[in-house]
Amino acid sequence: MPDYQAILDEIREETRPLLCQGHVADYIPRLAGVPREKFGMAVVTLDGRLYQTGDADEAFSIQSISKVYTLTQALQSIGDRLWQRVGREPSGNAFNSLVQLELENGLPRNPFINAGALVVADVVLGSPPDPRAQLLATVRRCSDNAALRDDPEVASSEQANGFRNAALANFIRSFGNLDHSVHDVLGFYFYQCSLAMSCVDLARGFLFLANQGRCPWSGGNILLPDQTRRINALMLTCGTYDAAGDFAYHVGIPCKSGVGGGIVGVIPKQLAVAVWSPALDAKGNSLAGSAALELFTSKTGLSIF
């Protein structure tokens, strides 16, 4: 077995020069003030062993990483009927692009671009009685941390500046692909993006995707094994926006990123790994975090290929 602790400490030092590069997500004012020198990384193996370095215990806004959890809820709720409303193909465009929606009649390319996540949010809203409470309960159960919560300031910041997401939601609604009001869908979407988790939380919280859908902490099934494989496949092909091809080439594991600077990766039947560094590259993925994951798979020799 690789010496994960030594590897994480090496990666922290090797990526330190990258922390001054890239840009934080300043279009969300609440995120603009996060110190760019922050860096954390955590690994949790299938048998529950935890390894961490840097700021791995510090909570941050998970943003689009939350889309994996809402996709999980949607599949729990309606199963494969979800794919009648959202596709499974990489977009090749920016995560908040309006272009393909018009060309493809309001059917988002995949559930991880913003348009697709809005449709998934609409599906989750159809599961009474309290979809927000259910989402929070799912995240807490997966991470085995009952103290996890949302950050109302982040949600408020996104609500006040979410004009592009509002445009996407209204456009999708014009094609009849939202059942709930645009206001309710956006409210839920901004809520999910405002969830705050640490690298330790995220590594623990994604371990069910390395375990055929079974939660190691509760012993219960979150998803069926085939649903788990499909989410992992979507993370590989769509989880890092229009950089997914580069991630598959350089990193070689399913990953999901967020503009809060977090990225989570899964190596089925082995482990989950999470990294956080707030400064982003041109595609919206953590610059140092992307390099850290490439170093991790290179140093450990682990990948799905």
| Ordered alpha helix ranges (H), 82-151 | 99-103, 114-125, 131-143
Helix (H, G, I), strand (E, B) or coil at 224: coil
Point out the catalytic residue in the list 61, 64, 66, 257.
64
69 is catalytic: no
Point out the catalytic residue in the list 4, 51, 69, 189.
189
Point out the catalytic residue in the list 4, 61, 241, 273.
241
Are residues 224 and 213 in contact, defined by beta-carbon separation less than 8 angstroms? Answer: yes
Which one-letter amino acid corresponds to residue 52? Q
C-beta neighbour count of 276 within 10 angstroms: 31
C-beta neighbour count of 49 within 10 angstroms: 12
299 is catalytic: no
Q: What is the DSSP letter of 259?
A: T
d(CA 96, CA 93) in angstroms, rounded, equals 8
4 is catalytic: no
Point out the catalytic residue in the list 120, 259, 264, 266.
259
End-to-end C-alpha distance for the chain, whole angstroms: 18
Helix (H, G, I), strand (E, B) or coil at 135: helix
Are residues 34 and 157 in contact, defined by beta-carbon separation less than 8 angstroms? Answer: no
64 is catalytic: yes
d(CA 68, CA 129) in angstroms, rounded, equals 21
303 is catalytic: no
Point out the catalytic residue in the list 24, 44, 67, 91.
67
d(CA 23, CA 38) in angstroms, rounded, equals 13
Catalytic residues: 64, 67, 189, 241, 259
